[in-house]
């Protein structure tokens, strides 16, 4: 092993730094790619109501619902038709993955306030 074949200290550090950047960029691309594959839709819970109460999503594709509970009390996003139930503590947010679904209407409701918190996912 000859000294001339070894990178100097500075060159070695630069190589390591570039490798870290490349790795970071690659991971970022993978994350963005994964996110790009799953469309994100947002729903808010305010004063025990869902906004929007009707959410249109594409058929045959998995989607990610981010549900923001703006109330101080917990709420449960529930739907037998979607086969999902998710409790969202007050002033936090929860994630629900649904689909791929066939075209149609899939009702959901808030289990803690079922008379007011109602909505539906419209798949088209």
Partner 1 sequence: MIRTCGILCAAGGRVSFLLAGLLTGGLVSIPTYADNLLHHNGVGRVYDPYVLPLERELELRTYYQTDDDPFESDILRQRVGFGAAINERVFAELYLIGMKMPGRAMRLQSYELESKIQLTEQGEYAADWGLLVEYERERSESVAEFATTLLVSRQWGNWVGTVNLGVEYEFGSNIRNEFDSFMSAQWRLRYRESLEPGIEIYADEFTRGIGPVLTGLVRGSGNQKWHWEAGIIVPANDTTPDYTYRVLLEYEF
Interaction of residue 58 with partner 1, rule CB under 8 A: no
Q: How far is CA 54 from CA 64, 89, 91, in A?
A: 15, 22, 22
E strands along the chain, which residues? Answer: 40-46, 49-51, 54-57, 63-69, 75-79, 84-88, 93-98, 104-110, 118-123
Tell me, residue by residue from 12 to 41, as one string, x for binding to partner 1 by CB under 8 A and - for no binding.
------------------------------
- Kindly state the tokens that stand for 62: 């998995």
Q: Are 98 and 65 in contact (CB under 8 A)?
A: yes
Binding residue for partner 1, selected from 55, 96, 117, 123, defined by CB under 8 A: 96
Binding-site member from 97, 103, 107, 122 for partner 1 (CB under 8 A): 97
Nearer to partner 1, 28 or 95 (CB): 95
Q: Applying CB under 8 A, which residues contact partner 1?
A: 62, 74, 76, 80, 83-87, 89, 95-99, 111-112
């Amino acid at each position: 092993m000859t000294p001339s074949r070894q990178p100097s200290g500075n060159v070695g550090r630069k190589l390591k730094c570039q490798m870290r950047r490349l790795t970071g960029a690659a991971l970022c691309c993978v994350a963005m790619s994964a996110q790009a594959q799953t469309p994100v839709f947002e729903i808010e819970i305010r004063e025990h109501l869902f906004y929007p109460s009707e959410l249109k999503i594409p058929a045959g594709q998995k989607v990610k619902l981010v549900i923001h509970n703006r109330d101080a009390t917990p709420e449960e996003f529930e739907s037998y038709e979607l086969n999902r139930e998710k409790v969202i503590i007050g002033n936090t947010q929860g994630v629900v993955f649904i689909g791929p679904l066939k075209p149609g209407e899939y009702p959901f409701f808030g289990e803690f306030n079922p008379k007011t918190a109602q909505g539906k996912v419209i798949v088209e």
